[in-house]
Amino acid sequence: MFKNVIKNNFIRSSVFAAICTSSSIANADEIRVVFSDAEGVGFNSQEAYVPEGGNNATTLGEARKNVLFRTIRMIESQINITSDFAIEVEFEALSGYGAITLGPSFSSFDEGGASPYGIMEVNRQYPTNLRYSLQNIDTSSWDIESDPVSSTQFSPNSSIYLGFDNEGQHRSFITTTLHELTHVMGFASLNCLGDCFPAPLSKPSHFTKFVFGEGDPLVVFDNLSIREQEEVVSSGDGLLFLGSTSTQSKLSGLLTGGIHNGAVELHADGQLDGQEIAHFSPNVYPEQLMASVGSNVLNLGAAAYVLCDIGWCRGSGKVIDIGLNVENTKFKALPNDGVYVDFNIENATDAPASDLLLEIRFPEGTALSNALLENGQCTINNNALMSCTAKNIGANETLDVHFMLSGNIGDYALSGELSSTSFDVDSNGNNNLFDIEFTATSNQAPQITLDESVNANEGDNVSIIASVFDSDDDELTYSWTQISGPDVTLTDADMQHVKVTAPQVSKNTDLVLKFSVSDGEDEVSQNITVSVANVPKTDTEQSKESSGGSFGWILVNLFGLALFRKFKRANPSAHSSK
């Protein structure tokens, strides 16, 4: 929900000055935050928090701040903000709303004013923070925290899920913060209406592909066949403008959504899908586009096109969707021993994107080397920042990235963002963030749990299972070997379990087997004794063994006698020779 900012500059400055005297200020790159909550409440709450959804905070206030700063990182990676500005935030009991944003303030562009990109129109009003960037105003030396461009109040009773993922949650805090920050980027509610921004078709627009003609585009829509109309309203990016009352009625009959303050809430797939389907305006004015209820997605959706049109694209950019594909987020190595971090950059659209910038911050105690970006170049700055650039990434193209990471003993977090330094607006900032965990630790050898001995009778099939624990979660290799005793065959000797058949013995006999485990650095072993018992034979078994033995010798003797007779017939003189 969005409300108008306090317009009296004297009152506004006094209010924020009073707020800032007791606030805590945090720097988040271009967007800085003024926390106005009293001690122990809101963003400063010390209430215990159980980590979930990637948010590893331990207090409620810290968890809320983590979500807010993550959202700010998203926005900063989506929009090329070139001038610093501050926002003020706090928690306040709200009636019927999850959050309310006051601001940003607007100012008119006067004739003769600087317009480096040639897109500012005289007497048009622009959000203060947008005007800073459109005019390349350097605010880095200002006390911008004393005069935030906006103020947002969050309800403590809404959006209680604080994970970074919002799957399965009706409303998550990260969605609410994204919705309110999108207000701050220019979706303001003012009475100036058409005087605030140029009309959608006053010049070539980023909405052009959604519009069927000059003037009222839905006049043409009214003339489409039913099949064509269904195709338009069910498309993933089918932004629709409302025209006449009859057209509005026709659209609401076709769609599975509803109408809110004259705007169609488009649910083409029948599922609540947030900003992509909830924010549509008859005249594409930001104040109407963002008047609908906040949604539960982590992308700008259609809002990206409006942000692009109102000035963040500087008239030359476009809407894109580039992202990072980081499958492995946990890495471990021995102290000062390197491990490769491999991932890639993806362009998810059918159009190329240009001027890619990937920046990854790494903390003291770690080191990055051998950095490589396919079709680009990487540099390491001040042993604290890896900066990679690529001039272009083709439509639906993927670029490989990797670097070597090492460090002293400790646990570390590395973070970064992917963005375009051209004037494109990225529709999805959630996939632009780089966050991994790295642990450098001395190797911890695996631990074996194995019985000291096992008893078996001769001829028994014996299965022995060893239990192994490795705190480092390394890839392990196993081996079983025989140390002493009658030779036996070891089956599955490279597994945690081994199988052996106890040999026949004339007396109780011990076999000693050794089980070894290696994690690639250390090897540990433990022995187990297999005590094989000689089983006394019954009279029947002894008789069978005796008969069988005599018969065997008889066979041997008979066989020898037959050979002698055969030899005698073949050599008759041999017998008489003396």
Q: Provide the pLDDT for residue 175.
A: 82
- For residue 329, what are the CA distances in angstroms to 220, 436, 438? 50, 4, 8
- Across the chain, what does the average pLDDT equal? 76
Q: Provide the pLDDT for residue 402.
A: 96
Q: Which helix (H) or strand (E) holds 13?
A: helix 9-20
Q: Provide the pLDDT for residue 207.
A: 39
Q: Provide the pLDDT for residue 29.
A: 55
Q: For 128-142, 445-459, 554-568, which range has the lowest pLDDT when averaged over its residues?
A: 554-568
Cis preceding-peptide flag for 446 (omega within 30 of 0): no
- Residue 478's SS3 state is strand
Q: CA–CA separation, 554 vs 234, rounded Å?
A: 95
Q: For 74-83, 173-182, 261-270, which range has the lowest pLDDT when averaged over its residues?
A: 261-270
Q: Angle of helix 60-78 relative to helix 173-184, nearest 10 degrees?
A: 50
How many residues are there in the chain?
578
**What confidence category does residue 178 fall into, taking pLDDT thresholds of 50, 70 and 90?**
confident
**What distance, in Å, lies between the first and last C-alpha atoms of the chain?**
128
Is the pLDDT score of 551 beyond 80? Answer: no
Q: Provide the pLDDT for residue 290.
A: 40
Q: CA–CA separation, 348 vs 428, rounded Å?
A: 10
- Residue 254's SS3 state is helix
Is the pLDDT score of 182 beyond 70? Answer: yes
Is the pLDDT score of 206 beyond 70? Answer: no
Q: Provide the pLDDT for residue 104.
A: 85
Strand order in the sheet with 2-3: 2-3, 99-102, 150-154, 85-91, 31-35, 24-26
**What's the average model confidence in pLDDT over 137-152?**
92
33 vs 295: which has the higher pLDDT:
33
Which positions ≥6 away from 326 have C-beta within 8 Å? 343, 434, 435, 436
pLDDT in tens, 279-330: 333 333 333 344 334 456 677 766 777 788 778 998 888 889 999 999 999 9
281 vs 60: which has the higher pLDDT:
60
pLDDT in tens, 243-288: 344 444 544 444 434 333 333 333 333 333 333 333 333 333 333 3
Q: Provide the pLDDT for residue 189.
A: 52
Q: Provide the pLDDT for residue 31.
A: 96
Q: CA–CA separation, 221 vs 232, rounded Å?
A: 9
Q: Provide the pLDDT for residue 572.
A: 46
**Under a CB-based contact definition with an 8 Å cutoff, are residues 129 and 107 in contact?**
no
Q: Provide the pLDDT for residue 147.
A: 93
pTM for the full predicted model: 0.69
**What's the average model confidence in pLDDT over 438-457?**
93
DSSP string, 508-564: -EEEEEEEEEE-SS-EEEEEEEEEEEPPPPPHHHHHHHHHHHHHHHHHHHHHHHHHH
**What's the average model confidence in pLDDT over 177-194?**
69
Is the pLDDT score of 194 beyond 70? Answer: no
Q: Provide the pLDDT for residue 107.
A: 80
**What's the average model confidence in pLDDT over 554-567?**
39
Q: CA–CA separation, 189 vs 183, rounded Å?
A: 9
Is the pLDDT score of 477 beyond 70? Answer: yes
Bridge partners (DSSP) of residue 509 are 532
Phi-psi group of 343: left, alpha or beta (phi > 0 → left; psi -120 to 50 → alpha; rest → beta): beta
Percent of the chain with pLDDT over 70: 67
For 40-53, letters b (16+ CB in 10 Å) and e give: ebbbbbeeebeeeb
Q: CA–CA separation, 91 vs 43, rounded Å?
A: 7
**Under a CB-based contact definition with an 8 Å cutoff, are residues 53 and 165 in contact?**
yes
- For residue 339, what are the CA distances in angstroms to 331, 345, 388, 403? 8, 20, 19, 8
DSSP string, 53-77: TTB--SBHHHHHHHHHHHHHHHHHH
- Which amino acid, 200? P
Is the pLDDT score of 16 beyond 80? Answer: no
- For residue 206, what are the CA distances in angstroms to 27, 117, 158, 303? 33, 16, 34, 11
Is the pLDDT score of 160 beyond 60? Answer: yes
